[in-house]
């Protein structure tokens, strides 16, 4: 039996279909609005804005944590290179002569080498070609050495002047220097709490007989009054140094080897300013060596008299340091200034309670 189909008319209130009649030039209502209202759009935009405001700081914090981790890894590589240098040659890298002294071919790796510590450890950081460039009569200062750069401060090891510069400074102890006029006593000065200036002497200013003695005792025997105790102010890497590990009498884990240095943010892109004046390979300079005469400073602090030789860095709240045992630690900018000072002294014989 054949079935027949009959299309019935839509019930009252039912949605219109393709088969429904169009009345008054439009379809019947479908039961929902055709678009968002202005108020609804504003509410959605406000919700998205709140979510972004909550998300962006977290993303920035995660990125900074990653950059700080990479910075710590760079310090670890510097510590490993220093350990390799010490194991092969028998002493910590030399601090070189002064800020106007570049490495010289045949200068070796001890107090006779004008170039600084960043130069003498190059062979132990897979940068032998840069180290050997002085043999051709022209030091290569334009080959990038990424380990010298803190990623929170800049993206490469090149400074504002287009040459390799370092964000990390060796520990020279207190900011002190000899003067040629008084080379017998080396005029060893300390400025715990006040900066007295930079290096004013080099081997060229002294007789060959006494420069090594001056270099080895510089920054080593001048005491400073810390509370009621006189402590020596000797660091690990300084002008003319070539110290063995045995000279670090306070313990390798309680003495800075190198650390991040303070560079005001105004100097990030301007050559010739504090922290970015000289290339990484010069001798004793505020660009390559720092001390404990001042508490560490954040890069957000504006430059002022006396802090250009301080440690510090761009990270929020902390700076990173490699210790003489090769470990890497972070220290708060609010560290007790006396504790910070003692951590730069290799033989103060004082008990130091380092912060966790």
Number of domains in the chain: 1
Q: Is residue 149 over pLDDT 70?
A: yes
27 inside domain = no
Please report how many Cα atoms fall inside a 13 Å half-sphere around the Cα of residue 342, on the Cβ side: 24
- Please indicate, yes or no, if residue 289 is contained in any of the structural domains: yes
Taking the C-alpha atoms of residue 342 and residue 242, their distance in angstroms, rounded to an integer, is 21
- Judge whether 173 lies within some domain: yes
Q: Which tens digit of pLDDT belongs to each residue from 106-119? A: 888 888 899 999 99
Tokens of 26: 């439009």
The token pair at 209 is 């007989």
* pTM of this structure: 0.74
- The CA distance from 112 to 106, in Å, is 9
For residue 125, the enclosing domain spans 49-344
Q: Does residue 163 belong to any structural domain of this protein?
A: yes
* 209 located within any domain: yes
| pLDDT band with cut points at 50, 70 and 90 for residue 30 | low
Q: What pLDDT band is residue 296 in, cutting at 50, 70 and 90?
A: very high
234 vs 133: CA distance, rounded Å: 32
279 part of a folded domain: yes
E strand intervals along the chain: 168-171, 223-226, 229-232, 256-260, 289-290, 297-298, 312-313, 318-323, 328-332
Over the chain, what is the mean pLDDT? 78
Q: Is residue 85 part of a domain?
A: yes
3-state secondary structure of 173: strand
pLDDT in tens, 212-262: 555 555 545 456 666 666 666 688 998 888 888 988 988 999 999 999 999
Q: Is residue 355 part of a domain?
A: no
- Cα gap 86→202, rounded to integer Å: 24
């Amino acid at each position: 039996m054949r079935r027949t189909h009959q299309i019935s008319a839509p019930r009252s209130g039912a949605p219109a279909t393709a088969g429904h009649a169009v009345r008054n030039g439009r379809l019947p209502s479908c039961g929902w609005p055709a678009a968002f209202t202005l108020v609804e759009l504003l509410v959605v935009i406000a919700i998205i804005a709140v979510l972004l405001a909550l998300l962006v700081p977290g993303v920035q914090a995660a990125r900074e944590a990653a950059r700080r981790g990479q910075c710590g890894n760079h310090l670890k590589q510097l510590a490993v290179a220093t350990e390799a240098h010490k194991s092969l040659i028998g002493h910590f890298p030399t601090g070189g002569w002064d800020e106007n002294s570049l490495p010289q071919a045949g200068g070796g790796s001890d107090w006779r080498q004008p170039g600084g510590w960043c130069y003498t450890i190059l062979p132990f950081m897979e940068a032998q070609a840069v180290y050997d460039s002085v043999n051709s009569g022209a030091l290569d200062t334009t080959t990038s050495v990424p380990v010298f750069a803190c990623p929170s401060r800049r993206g490469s090891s090149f400074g504002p002047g287009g040459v390799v510069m370092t964000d990390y400074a060796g520990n020279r102890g207190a900011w002190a220097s000899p003067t040629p006029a008084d080379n017998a006593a080396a005029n060893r000065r300390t400025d715990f709490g006040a900066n007295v200036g930079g290096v004013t002497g080099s081997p060229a200013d002294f007789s060959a007989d006494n420069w090594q003695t001056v270099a080895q005792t510089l920054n080593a025997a001048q005491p400073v009054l810390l509370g009621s105790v006189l402590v020596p102010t000797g660091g690990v890497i300084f002008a003319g140094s070539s110290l063995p590990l045995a000279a670090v009498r306070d313990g390798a884990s309680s003495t800075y080897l190198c650390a991040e240095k303070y560079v005001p943010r105004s100097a990030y892109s301007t050559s010739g300013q504090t922290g970015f004046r000289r290339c990484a390979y010069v001798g004793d300079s505020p660009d390559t060596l720092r001390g404990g005469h001042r508490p560490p400073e954040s890069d957000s602090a504006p430059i002022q008299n006396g802090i250009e030789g301080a440690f510090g860095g761009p990270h929020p709240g902390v700076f990173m340091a490699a210790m003489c045992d090769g470990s890497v630690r972070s220290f708060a900018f609010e560290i007790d200034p006396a504790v910070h000072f003692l951590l730069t002294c290799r033989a103060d014989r004082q008990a130091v309670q380092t912060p966790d």
